[in-house]
Structure 1
């Protein structure tokens, strides 16, 4: 069975889909952008193999090598969703192609395991940087992320809190306490200085 893709100026999609059944309960599907007809190879005799099948068998050496490399370090997991399977297949092939390009550009020959490990770290690093800047992130988790990225921790007031100190302006019956933060030298604006002077005047009666 043959299926042809529409090939036009508006929709350039020249391709040929072949469904070949060599024996019962075994179906072979091939998609080709090279062939555009339903020719049968006469040399195959009663098998009636299309030329797409015979051409593929002649040049399948590279395909077998790629399939072997994909199976060694595969990102695919068992799933009944075909888009997920296609995506994992493209991801596996992209790692192979990227290592070939890297080797040709840098002349640095490393194992595929090392290359995939470094590639995954570089791809994840921007997301780690962004996640480490989330204000509500737990402290231990942010520390683990910074250990991976090598980023210096930025101190905040929650981390620099030392102890609870009693408010010197409130009377004893209220007994209010607050957290005092040390290790910060923030510049005080004129508005803050002015407001602090007003508070000193208002609470001077309690002293």
Structure 2
């Protein structure tokens, strides 16, 4: 997408690729924040286990997003809907 070395002079000579990255990086930060709220991660020295815990957390967030899009009135007036969803999903 960014094959040239274009520079935006209004932003003190920053390359356009860096400006584009800074403008669009919010999705990863938002996902990390959601994952951090209800994590299953445990301390381990085995990287596959750590990878599995992270995969489980990201899948929990993704499944919650899909579920709420399909069922917008599910537990409409409740707080901590994601926690309730994860509890019901684990059962």
Using the size of structure 1 for normalisation, the TM-score is 0.34
Q: Which structure dedicates a bigger proportion of its chain to strand?
A: 1
Give the number of the structure whose alpha-carbon radius of gyration is greater.
1
Aligned-residue CA RMSD in angstroms?
2.6
Q: Which structure dedicates a bigger proportion of its chain to helix?
A: 2
Tell me the CA shift for residue 54 of structure 1. 4.1
Equivalent residue for 2:71, pick from 75, 85, 106? 106
- Partners of 2:6 and 2:57 in 1: how far apart? 33
Equivalent residue for 1:116, pick from 82, 86, 89? 86
Aligned to 1:91: 56
Q: Which has the higher contact order (CA 8 A, sep 6+)?
A: 2
Change beyond 3 A, Cα 1:80–1:44: farther
Tell me the CA shift for residue 65 of structure 1. 1.6
Q: Deviations over 1:62-106 (max 9, x none)?
A: 222211111110111122322222222221111111111111212
Any stretches of 5+ residues in structure 1 without a counterpart? 1-33, 122-207
SS at match of 2:14: helix
SS at match of 2:45: coil
Any stretches of 5+ residues in structure 2 without a counterpart? 8-12, 76-80
Tell me the CA shift for residue 109 of structure 1. 3.6
- Partners of 2:5 and 2:43 in 1: how far apart? 36
